[in-house]
Amino acid sequence: MVSSIGGANLRMEVKNLNFYYGRSLALKNINMGIENNKVTAVIGPSGCGKSTFIRILNRMNDIIIGTRVEGEILLDEQNIYDPRVDVVEIRRKIGMVFQKSNPFPKSIFDNIAYGLRINGISNKTEIIDRVEMSLKNSALWDEVKDRLDDNAFELSGGQQQRLCIARALAIEPEVILFDEPCSALDPISTAKIEELINQLKEKYTIAIVTHNMQQAARISDYTGFFLLGELIEFDKTEKIFTNPSQKQTEDYITGRFG
């Protein structure tokens, strides 16, 4: 079992993580590092705990009643589950894009401005600038620049998901978590988002959960394979897909189960 790799330039670090839903142990003793300006992918069959895992990284599971975390999750060496830490601040630093695109029922502009406003930015020009910037960074600007006042729900599924990415980018997080962002999208939209993730890693640290192994192989630098709540193997993506050290990993990537 490989615990953490690289080690040189870790942005986040998961140490001895156990996670409980009520009394049942959903994740067992996870150790893993998330390297700066790299894409770290998490793969595994459905129900293996990969979505649960990524939601632990920005404390999204706090809002689910009856969950409990043991162990440490470090962001820049600070434990985000430390009781003195402000969860709101953590979520601002660690953005998230969800499986199902979830824009607010507001205009395209207001969707992005929302995050800015709640984080205390009230200067109009600054908001306008940052909305434009994030839409450009999420490669949506050209498609929506003339219709910023339209309701976000009028966008296509792929556009909505890119809007959600823009919304996350606008508040300039340090890490962005993607929870199966393409699972509801067509191949063309998927390709756009993959390309986008590739560009984003220059500025951001990225972790992505995907059920699509090819996607993990295409876009990630590191890959972790989860099975039944355990991290079976974690290594460079190349290594995982060409020469995995665990039998279970090999079975999974060669399609023998899952």
Partner 1 sequence: MLNISNRKWRELKQQIGFMTVRLAALIIFIILGILLYFIFSRGIKVISWDFLTKMPEKGMTAGGIFPAILGSFYLTMGAILFALPLGILAAIYMTEYATQGKIIRIIRIGISNLASVPSIVFGLFGLALFVNYLKFGVSILSGSLTLGIMILPVIIRASEEALLLVPHGFREASLALGATKWQTIYKIVLPNAIGGIITGAILGVGRVAGETAPILFTAATFYIRKLPDSVFSEVMALPYHIYALMTEGSHPKEQKAIAYGASLVLIIMVLGINLLAILIRNYYRRKKKW
Partner 2 sequence: MTIKKNKKEKLLEILFLFFAFLSNILLVGIIIILFKESLPLFKEIKVLDFLLGRHWYPTYDPPEFGILPLILGSLWVTIGSLLVAVPLGLGAAIYISEIASTNLKEILKPAVEVLAGIPSVVLGFFGMVVIAPFLQNVFKLPTGLNALNASILLGIMAIPTITSISEDCISAVPRGFKEASYALGANRWETMIKVTVPAAFSGISSAVILGMGRAIGETMTVLMVAGGAAIIPHSFLQPVRTMTATIAAEMGETAIGSDHYFALFGIAVVLFILTLIFNIIADLVAQRFRKRIV
Q: Out of 82, 89, 126, 149, which residue is the one contacting partner 2 (CB under 8 A)?
A: 89
Token pair for 184? 């509801």
Residues in region 67-86 near partner 2 by CB under 8 A: 86
DSSP 191-253: HHHHHHHHHHTTTSEEEEE-S-HHHHHHH-SEEEEEETTEEEEEEEHHHHHHS-SSHHHHHHH
Distance CA 39, CA 181 (A): 14
Name the 3-class secondary structure at 158.
helix
Q: What does DSSP say about strands 39-43 and 67-75: parallel, antiparallel, or unpaired?
A: unpaired
Q: Which stretch binds partner 1 (CB under 8 A): 4-12, 99-107, 129-137, 196-204?
A: 99-107
Distance CA 156, CA 205 (A): 27
Q: Out of 1, 64, 88, 128, which residue is the one contacting partner 2 (CB under 8 A)?
A: 88
Token pair for 181? 């962002």
Q: Which of partner 2, partner 1, none binds 115 (CB below 5-8 Å, type-dependent)?
A: partner 1
Q: Out of 80, 165, 168, 232, which residue is the one contacting partner 1 (CB under 8 A)?
A: 168
Q: Out of 21, 98, 132, 141, which residue is the one contacting partner 1 (CB under 8 A)?
A: 98
Q: Out of 119, 123, 156, 245, which residue is the one contacting partner 1 (CB under 8 A)?
A: 119
Distance CA 253, CA 258 (A): 9
Give me the numbers of helices (H) and strands (E) for the chain, helices first please: 10, 10
Of residues 114 and 141, the one with the C-beta less far from partner 1: 114
Q: Which stretch binds partner 1 (CB under 8 A): 58-66, 71-79, 194-202, 203-211?
A: 58-66
Distance CA 143, CA 24 (A): 46
Alpha helix positions (H), the chain = 50-56, 87-93, 108-118, 124-137, 141-144, 157-170, 187-200, 213-219, 237-242, 247-253
Q: Which stretch binds partner 1 (CB under 8 A): 70-78, 88-96, 131-139, 223-231?
A: 88-96
Q: Is 153 in the site for partner 1 (CB under 8 A)?
A: yes
Q: Which of partner 1, partner 2, none binds 96 (CB below 5-8 Å, type-dependent)?
A: partner 1
Q: Out of 33, 49, 103, 229, which residue is the one contacting partner 1 (CB under 8 A)?
A: 103
Q: Is 114 in the site for partner 1 (CB under 8 A)?
A: yes
Q: Is 201 in the site for partner 1 (CB under 8 A)?
A: no
* Binding-site ranges for partner 2 (CB under 8 A): 86, 88-89
Q: Which residues bind partner 1 (CB under 8 A)?
A: 58, 60, 63, 65, 88-89, 91-93, 95-96, 98, 100, 102-105, 114-115, 118-119, 151, 153, 164, 167-168, 171
